[in-house]
Every structure is written in C-alpha cells, then in structure tokens.
C-alpha cells in the first residue's frame, strides 16, 4: 500500500495538487478498498466522519480531480456513482470483471474493441465502456449461484 500511496502522491505533485490531510486520508481510504468500487456516497460519509467540517462539494471535487489525473476510476451502476483507486496507472484504458456477489474487481488484460470495429466498416467509434459481470471464483467455490443473486 505504501508504494501505491507514494505513486499517488507523486501524481498529485506532478499535477500541482497539494497533498492536504484530507486528500491523504481520501487516498488511504481508496487504497484500503482498491479491490472494489465504492459508492461515492459511502466515500463522502467516511470523509465527513473523519473531517466533520468537510463539505460534500470538497469530497466530490477531490474525487473528480483524482479522476482527472488518473488516480481514480469512476463507474456507474444502477444510477449510483462509484469510485476505486486506479488499478493500472500505466494503462488508463482497461476493462474489468466485477463479481455481482462480493463486488471484487478484476482487471482484464485485453480490449475487445477490434472485434467490434471490424463489424462496423466505415464507422468511427469515438468511445466505449466494457465490463463483464458474474461470479468470481471464490464466490462460485463458496456455492453462490446466479439464481441466488436474482432472488436478492
């Protein structure tokens, strides 16, 4: 975690963003939870517990700045904004498998865009988002089924 924290601090400094005690605490929270996306509302509640005078706007602004400099990835699920520490700062373009039971995020090593652009001759693709959802190996081994997820 210390190596990732140092890398994040270096990114902040490179982008002329001060390392305040609030930003440091936010980075530590994100690093502690880096294997999962966390609802922005949860991040906000945590930060406001740690820093009672901190405004919602400050939390959201810091998350947006972290996203702009590549420290944070953002995702939306069921209209809820979620964030996590950037799992691969060297390659900001990547995709994920997200376990629908435990929320664990696994980075995928390839982008499937060539498959789709080959099917769209003459078209110009300007962007994409690609995530796979299902059950991770640990949840499957524990006996979780997609049927049990549908019941919840």
Q: Is 128 annotated as a binding residue?
A: yes
41: number of CA atoms within 13 Å, CB side? 5
Q: Is 91 annotated as a binding residue?
A: no
Q: Is 93 annotated as a binding residue?
A: yes
Q: Is 102 annotated as a binding residue?
A: yes
List the binding residues for Fe cation.
93, 128
List the binding residues for Zn(2+).
99, 102, 136, 139
List the binding residues.
93, 99, 102, 128, 136, 139
């Amino acid at each position: 975690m210390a190596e990732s924290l140092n890398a994040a601090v270096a990114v902040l400094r490179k982008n002329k963003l001060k390392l305040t005690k609030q930003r440091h605490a936010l980075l530590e929270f994100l690093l502690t939870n880096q294997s999962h996306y966390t609802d922005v509302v949860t991040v906000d509640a945590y930060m406001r517990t740690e820093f009672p005078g901190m405004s919602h706007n400050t939390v959201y602004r810091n998350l947006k700045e972290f996203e702009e400099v590549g420290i944070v990835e953002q995702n939306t699920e069921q209209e809820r904004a979620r964030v996590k520490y950037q799992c691969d700062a060297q390659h900001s373009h990547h995709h994920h498998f997200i376990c629908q039971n435990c929320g664990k995020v696994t980075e995928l090593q390839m982008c499937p865009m060539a498959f789709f652009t080959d099917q769209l001759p003459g078209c110009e693709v300007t962007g994409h988002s690609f995530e796979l959802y299902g059950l991770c190996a640990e949840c499957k081994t524990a006996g979780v089924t997609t049927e049990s997820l549908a019941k919840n």
